[in-house]
Amino acid sequence: MSEQAPPAPPGPGTRTTRDLTKAAASGWLGTAMEFMDFQLYSLAAALVFNTIFFPDLHPAVGLIAAMGTYGVGYVARLAGAVFFGRMGDRVGPKRVLFITVALMGVSTTLIGALPTYQQVGLLAPVLLVALRLVQGFGAGAEIAGATVMLAEYAPPRRRGFIASLVALGTNSGTLGASAVWAVLVFALSDEQLHSWGWRLPFLASFVLLMLALWIRSSVRESPVFEQREDTVDGVAVSRDELAAKAASGQSTLETALRQRKGKAFLLAFGLRFGQAGNSGIVQTFLVGYLSATLLLDGSLGTSAIVYGSLLGFVTVPLAGAVGDRYGRRPVYLALTIASALFAVPMMLMVQTGDTLLVTLAVVIGLNLSVLSLFSMESVTMAELFGARTRFTQLALAKELGGVLATAIGPVLAATLTAATGSWWPVSALIIAYSLITLASAALAPEVRGRDLVRLEDAV
């Protein structure tokens, strides 16, 4: 009796539930690491880095310098988006995501091992900035890569729900880092925190790094990348080669090459700009506004953000699932209109100073104007772009829109509220940002369930 032949390995484009589970875990964990690393750093910059790395400066100047090292990471993110975006489009997102998570994890761990200013002088802040640049360089393509990978892995009818795991990763990372620092501040004395306690979360992140690398090493390449018409032996061929191939009569390639570029990117940029702008107002500006302008307890704003983030574990996948059922455009239109309509009531609730009303306002604003839109953004932006340049365009739209909107929003809000002595500029900015996303969603085509293997953009 002859032996039965072993089952043939899955062919290109074929993925099992186990493959999808690994990809989902990889995407969630990598995004959680990205936001945990950045939150660990931002809190350390605000709490201890001014005295550890810039002790000879005036405390206020030292804080500015410490926050400056935080800001350089965002500059590096743009460079990372371009570099790794192009690499991902050419060799596939799997290889890029392994590199990005390694860069983020190693640089974060090494921050915990840095010598202080007292030990090596100016070399300490120089090394800090260098590691921050490496961390940002890797992070610039992490969330875009995870979004591309999950969207390209997911079944079309559940793409929004599965891609929402990327948004859940941001929640997980931010909450995890905040909780770690809260425990350290509570458990350690000020001297202990400044001498050795601040190192613990950075060094402990090495465990997450090992877990992420282990998971990503076993994830198979995106099925969409393997099925792309311009992929040969696991590498996408160049534009010149594509043109030659298109000239031979392959109309799909010819359409992709001759398509006018820019519209899909501008639409994605608008979707991202509105969501990121609302994030800067609700998650950053309002926290300071509550304590500095309304003179409320400093913990009220941060507690409200935590409660809102916890609710986000329900809101984010729910928004993705609703988008799968009813389409991206109608959900986007409904969310952005609701965000604009809630902007004034939210600030009226905040102005009361009542703990319950303030908390409720922030929780609703965060979930309606930020997290739900982020969930929709994750899948819609991936579906807008063609397979040939999806990684690069998505990464640039996310990073450029995020940096500009998140940086501009809080500064504008602080300037206008100080100049007018009123709360209305905050509502006006949320309305304006929501209308930008509303316009982009209205102009965009419906892309739910789109074939992501197609090389040309959706518009």
* 301 neighbors 286 (Cβ within 8 angstroms): yes
Q: What residue type is 431 in one-letter code?
A: I
| Spatial CA neighbour of 351 closest among 426, 413, 275, 411 | 426
Name residues whose C-beta falls within 8 Å of residue 228's C-beta, 6 or more positions apart in sequence: 236, 387, 388, 453, 455
Domain topology for 17-157+170-226: Growth Hormone; Chain: A; (1.20.1250)
pLDDT tens digits along 232-250? 656 766 555 555 555 555 4
Output the pLDDT for position 390: 92
Residue 119 and residue 174: Cα distance in Å, rounded?
31
pLDDT of residue 410: 80
Q: Which residues contact 404 (CB under 8 A, 6 or more apart)?
A: 273, 276
**Residue 4 pLDDT class (50, 70, 90 cuts):** very low
Does this model's pTM top 0.85?
no
Which residue spans within 106-220 are E strands per DSSP? none
User: Average pLDDT of 164-183?
Assistant: 86
What span, in angstroms and rounded, lies between the C-alpha atoms of 210 and 26?
12
Averaged pLDDT score across all residues of the chain: 84
Six-digit token string for 165: 């795991």
Determine the 3-state secondary structure of 236 from DSSP: strand
Residues 6+ apart with CB under 8 A from 24: 150, 153, 162, 165
pLDDT digits 0-9 by tens, 308-321: 989 999 999 999 99
Q: Where are the domains of the chain?
A: 17-157+170-226, 260-443
Helices (H) and strands (E) in the chain, counts: 21, 2
Tell me whether residue 163 is exposed, middle or buried, using C-beta atoms within 10 angstroms of its C-beta: 0 to 12, 13 to 18, 19 or more. buried
pLDDT, mean of residues 153-172: 90
Return the closest-CA partner of residue 361 out of 410, 436, 305, 285.
305
- Shared fold status for 17-157+170-226 and 260-443: yes
| Distance separating alpha carbons of residues 244 and 238, to the nearest angstrom | 10
Residue pair 33/104 in contact by the 8 Å Cβ criterion: yes
Where does 260-443 sit in CATH, by number?
Answer: 1.20.1250.20
Cα–Cα distance measured from residue 203 to residue 262, given in angstroms and rounded to the nearest whole number: 43
Residue 406 pLDDT > 80: no
- Bridge partners (DSSP) listed for residue 235: 232
DSSP 8-state assignment for residue 156: G
Which residues is 449 bridged to in the sheet? Answer: none
- Round the CA-based radius of gyration of the chain to a whole number and report it: 23
